[in-house]
Chains A and B, each alone.
Chain A
Amino acid sequence: MEDSIDILLAALVVWWQILYVNWSSQESPDPQMASNPEAVFIFLSFLKKESGEFHFDILLASITSLFLFRFIRMLRLTRMFGPMISMVEKMVYDLGTFLIIWVIQLFTLSAIAVLVFGELDAYKKPVDALLIMFETAMGNWDLSIYDDLHIGPIYGKIFHIFAIILNLIVLVNLVIAILADTYSFLASRSLGLYYDGVISRIPAYKFDNKYGGLIFIAPPFNLLVLPLVPFYLLIENEVTLKSFNIIVCKILFVPYATIYTCVFIVFNLVMAPFGYLVAIFNKFKMLCSSRVMKAFKRSTGTLVVDLLVFTICGPVMLLCSQVTDLFYFVLHLYSWKLKKLNDQGKICLITIEDLIVVETVTKAELARLYKENGGVDLSVPVAKFVVQVRDKMDVPMALTNLVFGPHVSLKELPDPLEKIKRYNLIKKVLSRQSYKSEEGAKPSLNLKLLEYHLKELRVKIDCTMIGLMSDKKIKGGKQSLPTFEDDERDDPEI
């Protein structure tokens, strides 16, 4: 659809250019008034409009409306407006079906009016009759037009009231019902509608490793790509083409990078005084807080010196930071090693340490249950069990690390995201092991069964390790799961 609008818009603009070239090259009708080509064009468009030969203003209106229409179509791929625009588009089809029925009944009523009440001035012409019926449908009518009807005004009025009921009560409510039905159907699928639009545009925007540079930059900057097209066509070697493509992207990124850098410089300069004041306030606050001093292992003397140094040298330091910030900003703009949300090639696996955590929690919970009810009921709510595993795995700390960085959590974990992923996997496995004792009950976990599973797993891992060692794939001593101290409780008979 966007492509069709683009082509139509381009055709109209080209038409305008052709008209301009043709008209402005003509001899001026009034050389005193219009001497330059633009003035000649305007003068001629004025004359042609007056004579009714050509309405340039209609061409301009068409181009303007296409501009706005294209913009609305572009909004379709935004999450905020997309679903609503898609819904309106779907509703237009329903409205079209309704309009056909409506127009047919308007024609029918106007035909009856012309044939039966033809003696009246209002119904002399079919077009007038159609307009009267249309006005009636819109809520504007005058029953006094039937006063001079020779068969009696009452028949005319009855006919008109019938038309009013049909249009205003039946059909208007019908269209509202149709649109409400469509809306309620589509409203629950709004996200799907939005994604439908997104998927339809993927082929046009997907970056290709070999030719992606051609669509990398937005119009009108994409004109810069045109001279590079022959190079893209001439390079046959795939590796060279990919390298060339990346270089083109890096060069084409320069206009964007320049704009971004300018914005960054201005913002950084504006923020500097505020940053200075807030930093002093922060240091002063730290000085007053013994908790923070203890946490960061800093003495009062160090903090006082730091505060004084920053108060005096702070402006100079922040001014120097402007340069280094800018350097790192530009470096970061062109950085190619970005983290991925989920590394496709790296499948998260539960480690032996995680299994030990689950085993520890299972044993602790079993011990508690034996103590509480003598092992009669060995099931626990899965949510409660998962919370214990979460705490034991240090997941909250991993989350703090991930969100706020290691400075705030005061404990740095090697790979917090990896830990959270592993925890999620364990959670999934445990959920799969759960059952519901009755309809509506919370899912529970049979700890005895889980313990057996873990034991089985431990044996399997040990066997694998021994097998690997015998194959001399693993050098060194025996590697197996660390053992637990045997429980003192007795297992119930199964």
Chain B
Amino acid sequence: MTEDRNGDLTEDKVHESWTGKLDAYLDGELDSSEMQELDGHLRECSGCTAEALRRLQWKRAVHSAGQCYTSDPALREQIQKSISPARPAWWHWRPAFAATAAVLLLFAAARIVQLEIVQSKARVVQNNQAQNNLDQRSGIVGELADLHVATLASANPVDVVSSDRHNVKPWFAGKIPFNFDLPELQGSQFELIGGRVTYMEQSPGAQLLFRVRKHQISVFIFQTRALPVNFARAGELDARSFHLESWQRGGLQYFVIGDVAPEDLRALGDLLEK
């Protein structure tokens, strides 16, 4: 190392000591104190700064030139496959499986929801229908009770007054659009009083009045198709303080209504059904 007469390093030697550290400086390998020292020198020394810039350009050029080889993508794929953990064949199809399963689940869920909606609607319709039927039945039973009460209150409860079935039955011919049979009541507790034409839901029917002990019983006969609701299984019904029996036969709907015991109604019904 050359020194001048004062023992200081010559200018060339100073530059040499700094430029010797430039590569490590640009590689980021100097410690922080050396880095600061060299930074300070570079701010004052244009020669060293120019040299640092040249070396930086050189580094960039080598960096760029050194990245020139690219592999065949097939090699990458082959290596990737070889180092992937061993998995069953279906594993590679799992996205497809997952997608299919998701679609199927969605379909299933949609179908369940759809069925539930349809069933729910059907239940609502059924409920509404049942309610309607009930309402209509109640309406008809109530109307029958009104007709029976009106008959009992009337000064002329029947239009044909006869206890003979052979008089009463022919009287209805041409007045109502159907025929019916009247039973022989001789020997029974029931007595025929007579009959009249009546209407239900704008359709004509027969009302027959019977007596049992001191009670009067009305028998209504209509065409089944004339009624808005089916009374096929109506059986025993109650309307206010009256009991009611009903059945169907030969396209006709029979109702027996009165304030007697249900057994009496059934007994009269049995006679009429024979």
A binds B: no
**Interfacial residues, chain A to chain B (CB-CB below 8 A):** none
